[in-house]
Amino acid sequence: MKDIYLAGGCFWGVEEVFARLPGVVATEVGYANSRVPSPRYEDVCSGRTGAAETVKVTYNPKKTDLTELLGVFFAIINPYTLNRQGNDVGSQYRTGIYYTHGEDEPFLTHYMNFMRQRGRGPAVDTQAQLILNETPEPGMEKQIRTEMMPLENFFPAEESHQRYLQKNPDGYCHLDLAALQREGIIR
């Protein structure tokens, strides 16, 4: 099994998307790259921790790979906005890819360079526009704001946030899960 840590705005919806993907064996929401140890949700929302709401995605590399996972990731985020996804605003809602396996770095670097050169990653164009229904900020069409770096730390979020949308089916989500399902991105 391998892990990748993905920050894509509010972690409730991002977790739900990845939990539904074939080859993903577990998800856990938490706070990545915090300047303070063991932050709580309220601390992270204050903006003082530097942490990003992040989903730890554990996957079976024999059943899925980083290309597929990143294709879905970039289909559900707006990579052009800084510290915002949907209605959620703040540094904790920035987008990021955080890795723990050094062997993933060359692939991730190549993928992100491709994104920066083309403005969109492979297999993302139509899905991202359909799902997000957003356009890049003027002049930012190719300036990807998604950060990519080694994971410094990860603190699991409180139990009430784990599988939040499973526990609260009518809970807030900045993603249109029904549209993602119709498009075959998730089950």
**Residue 145: CB partners within 8 Å, gap ≥ 6?**
79, 80, 81, 82, 94, 95
187 assigned to some structural domain: no
Q: How many residues does the chain have?
A: 187
Total structural domains in the chain? 1
Which one from 10, 52, 69, 72 is the annotated catalytic residue?
A: 10
What confidence score (pLDDT) does residue 57 get? 98
CATH number where 72 lies: 3.30.1060.10
169 assigned to some structural domain: yes
User: Structure pTM?
Assistant: 0.87
Alpha-carbon gap, residue 21 to 58, rounded angstroms: 11
Annotation says 10 is catalytic: yes
Amino acid 59 reads Y
Q: Going residue by residue through the chain, which has 187 residues, state the pLDDT in tens, using 9 for 90 and above.
A: 999 999 999 999 999 999 999 999 999 999 999 999 999 999 999 999 999 999 999 999 999 999 999 999 999 999 989 999 999 999 999 999 999 999 999 999 999 988 877 654 444 433 343 334 345 555 545 588 999 999 999 999 999 999 999 999 889 998 999 999 998 888 8
Alpha-carbon gap, residue 102 to 150, rounded angstroms: 8
125 assigned to some structural domain: yes
